Amino acid sequence: MPDKSGDMKEINTCPSCSKDNPINMAICQFCGELLPLPPRALSTEPVPHHPADVTSIKPPTAIEVSELRGKGVALIVRGHQDPILIQGSDIVLGRYDPGAQLPTVDLTPYNAGALGVSRSHARLRIQEEVCLIEDLNSTNGTWVNQQRLPAGKTHGLASGDVIQLGQLMLQIYFDHAAAVRSVEERISFKTPAKLTPHFLATRISPYLTALAAVQAICDEVRGVDPSPIEINGISIEGPMIITVQITGAREALRLAKGSLKEWRQVNAGKLNQFLVVKEAVGKRTGLLMGEEGEQIATVTSDEAMALQLGRELREGEIRLAFEFLREIAPGFSGDDRKASTEKLISPLHVLAFSPLHVTTGSNSLAH
């Protein structure tokens, strides 16, 4: 926004909460959302802050996919049927410019300049059975499956993922059928002015431990080897914003960012009411949600209200757990699914009642 002198203010307005942030901030210091690139940084045609709608992109034919075996990856540009077959472990996607180094994949023939692709826009790195993408501080941004990537941070890819460079849409295919999306996911959340051991122990650690428990159950249900969950780092991204780098929690974060987030939004009033009543009646409320194996014999009016709310919330948690397991493993048998649903309830309950929640736009937690 121009000031009285006509110059651009050094601010970046968050599209989620409409608060102003310093121009160099990547994450909103107020709500934890990923910020768009500032308008003044644009040098090619601007793109919208949100990714374009993903339309169907024709995958390579069976012959083309078989040609990839051990040879590299294929990129399919939207509107074009012929794949771009590429090899190597370090691949730069961009467009030709006489004064710059030629990228590994020159997207100029696909109208890259008009669609906002930078000269060196993004890098693909192929490491054994993992394919990573990194935005190279591009002007108009990089998205994977409609999720914008922060510049300079790697993000894992799965075969079939949709990549958006500016407004240019591509789909990637590679031979590693067992490759999983990835390696590192960034989760950010608000914290007190100072990060304390108490906050780590009482807020962050229980949430991450619950994510690990959810992921272990998901791996068991899907019949795959356990995903080793690791914390690769904890860093301060800005005032009151802490970011954790985590690997191996793909399905757990899918639950936290998807159906669990929606359930918490729908039941926000009921959750808040239950917590208020629980605080009023004290520890006896732990029995009201079946957290301990017996029911209390007599209840006060507040406890009766908490009992009713607790039952409704617990029923919702059970349905949520059941539907999520059916989503990730459609062929799972009924008896086994029932046992796994019961097992999932405990860590799901921790996530559902945690003051942390996953926000949109990035793998972020807000407090």
Higher pLDDT, 140 or 9: 140
**Banded pLDDT at 362 (limits 50, 70, 90):** very low
Higher pLDDT, 3 or 204: 204
- 103 pLDDT exceeds 80? yes
* SS3 of residue 314 by DSSP: helix
- 295 pLDDT exceeds 60? no
- pLDDT of 301 reads 73
- pLDDT of 34 reads 57
- pLDDT of 142 reads 94
As a whole number of angstroms, the distance between CA 367 and CA 350 comes to 15
- pLDDT of 183 reads 40
- 64 pLDDT exceeds 60? no
- pLDDT of 138 reads 93
- 1 pLDDT exceeds 50? no
Cα-Cα-Cα-Cα dihedral of 232, 236, 238, 240, to 10°?
120
Paired sense of beta strands 90-94 and 105-106, if any = parallel
HSE, side-chain direction, 13 A CA sphere, residue 187? 25
Q: At what angle do helices 250-257 and 205-222 cross, to 10 degrees?
A: 110
Joined tokens for residue 34: 């990923």
Mean pLDDT of the chain: 74
As a whole number of angstroms, the distance between CA 280 and CA 52 comes to 48
The pLDDT tens digits for 215-263 are 999 888 877 777 778 887 877 766 667 777 787 787 888 888 889 988 9
Length of the chain: 367
